Structure 1
Amino acid sequence: MNEDVAETWDLIVEIITTYGLDVVGGIIILIIGWMFAGWASRTVDKLLGKSPRMDETLRKFFASIVRYAVIIFTVVAVLSQFGVETTSFIAVLGAMGLAIGLALQGTLGHVASGVMLLMFRPFKIGDFIDGGGVTGTVEAISLFTTTMNTPDNVHIIVPNGQLWDTAIKNFSHNANRRVDMVMGIGYGDSIDDAMKAILEIAEADSRVHKDPAPMVAVGELADSSVNIIVRVWCSAGDYWGVKFDMTKAMKQRFDADGISIPFPQRDVHLINSSDAA
């Protein structure tokens, strides 16, 4: 029994002697690597936070990438400390990454699009945009999707790839917008009187900007009407109010001034069959 105990103790001593330093070194490397990963992540987050154009979501994403990259290198270093062949291990990780990338290429594409949207900022939260076949107000932007509310208050989640791959119209980007309208009058009505009435309505509206000045011009001699083009500038937030109110005011003014707004007409000539014979 004493011989068995002695052999067991000798084996333990041999294991500690052989691997003890490696275990201690591996633990030290793991602790230092873990602490360095946290420090590197916080540093990247802090540095990127100094940029006013850097979105918080994108900042956290880059900081997380740095943290996990340091942790992966730390694990490889620990395995190397124990004599594990890390070349094959890295090759296995690369193969796994490739397989996962192929399986999730659509999702990764949305992530890449999300990064591009957050970096270049074609729109921000609160903007009214038209993109990816959807029109609405942006409520949230993440790495995978963009959340929007349509004008009729429908909640829509749009994949970022769908937005990035199409043209994006940002109606809120510029402070001012131009309101374009077309008013048709009859051929028997006075063009000058109609243009004067429209200009007075535009100048009376406090939301309409003086510079650029309102423009009223004859745009087309159509089949049933003389079409007058009306272009006024206003703040982006007043766009629909100006458009709706001016349309109503022009109709009421035309009615009061006796200016007609014609509707499409067609003359039909009937030929008596007996007369034609």
Structure 2
Amino acid sequence: MDLETQLDPQGAWIAVQAGVAQISGLAVSYSFSVIGAVILLIGGWLVAGLIERSLFATLSRVRGFDATVSRFLSTVARYAILVMVIVMVLGQFGVQTASIIAAIGAIGLAIGLALQGTLQNIAAGLMLLFLRPFRIGESIKVGAVEGDVEEIGLFATRLRAADGTYILAPNSKLWNEPVYNTTRNRTRRNDISVGVKHGSDAGLAQKLMMELAAADSRVRDNPSPVAYLATLGDAGVTVTLRYWTSDKDFLRTKIELIERMKTRFDERDLSFSAPQPA
């Protein structure tokens, strides 16, 4: 076989032309897929952002709807749309999306088993957001956790203690224990107990307490305040003033009433004793 037969220029040229045509066909085919994928990504990103803002604005106009819940639902809607867009983009390149979804499900199950505690916090966070046993700005006590709520997240809730301490409490703890919300009802009852020694006029102590309560505009008339003999002990009796006030005035009213009681009792020579336990 001579060299001319081995090279076969005409056959080689035909093979090159066929390869170029095949590559051109593939390039045209995939270029449309790439262009379509880019359009889907850009359009999906814009649509997801638009739906997130629109949904948040709509829910914010609903009376009594919590702002944190509105933000959470709008964010979930946005990411749900983005996931759908990514699946559609993969379909543009002929990827079997069913197998990808199954793989994502299996990975999600494995991650869920590994992060059971974290998922408990997420589930508790959703329940707190929807049932709203407390809202941002309210004061709560849950077990050893006590403070003003600053943020309710999916994993944890941020609070500020009365002394300014930063508290980050897991949502599962706040959901699994009784919640004492001291500001939800807007009014609070308080009892101030004073021990009066035997031989002193307990009736006078009751009268002075009622006068101080009546003179304080922060003490509510309904329910009306009452002063009564709470306990009887060896050293004396315990006289208690029970009254209602707004949650905002609770602490200041208590402090000032105690100061005034001390002054008035001293003026009338009423002798103190340790209050008896109820």
Question: Which position in structure 2 is the counterpart of 1:53?
Answer: 64
Q: 1:195 to 1:103 in 2, by over 3 A?
A: same
**Equivalent residue of 1:211, what SS?**
coil
Question: Which position in structure 2 is the counterpart of 1:197?
Answer: 208
Superposition deviation, residue 91 in structure 1: 1.0
Question: Which position in structure 2 is the counterpart of 1:134?
Answer: 145
Do residues 241 (structure 1) and 252 (structure 2) align? Answer: yes
How many aligned residue pairs are there? Answer: 264
| Aligned CA-pair RMSD | 2.7
Question: Which position in structure 2 is the counterpart of 1:171?
Answer: 182
**C-alpha distance in 2 between matches for 1:150 and 1:139:** 10
Q: Which runs of 5+ in 1 are unaligned?
A: 265-277
Question: Which position in structure 2 is the counterpart of 1:212?
Answer: 223
Do residues 99 (structure 1) and 85 (structure 2) align? Answer: no
TM-score by length of 2: 0.81
Task: State the Cα deviation string for residues 187-229 of structure 1 (Å, max 9, x = none).
Answer: 2223322221221222222322233221011122123221222
CA contact (8 A) 1:218 1:227 kept: yes
Q: Which runs of 5+ in 2 are unaligned?
A: 1-11
One-letter identity of the residue aligned with 1:166: E
One-letter identity of the residue aligned with 1:123: F
**Which region of structure 1 is more displaced relative to structure 2, 15-24 or 241-250?**
15-24
**C-alpha distance in 2 between matches for 1:139 and 1:239:** 21
**Which region of structure 1 is more displaced relative to structure 2, 117-126 or 175-184?**
117-126
Task: State the Cα deviation string for residues 127-157 of structure 1 (Å, max 9, x = none).
Answer: 2221242112223332222222222221222
CA contact (8 A) 2:226 2:243 kept: yes
Map 1:1-277 to 2 at 5 A.
2-15=13-26, 30=41, 32-263=43-274
TM-score by length of 1: 0.81
Superposition deviation, residue 184 in structure 1: 1.9
Superposition deviation, residue 94 in structure 1: 0.4
**C-alpha distance in 2 between matches for 1:82 and 1:134:** 53
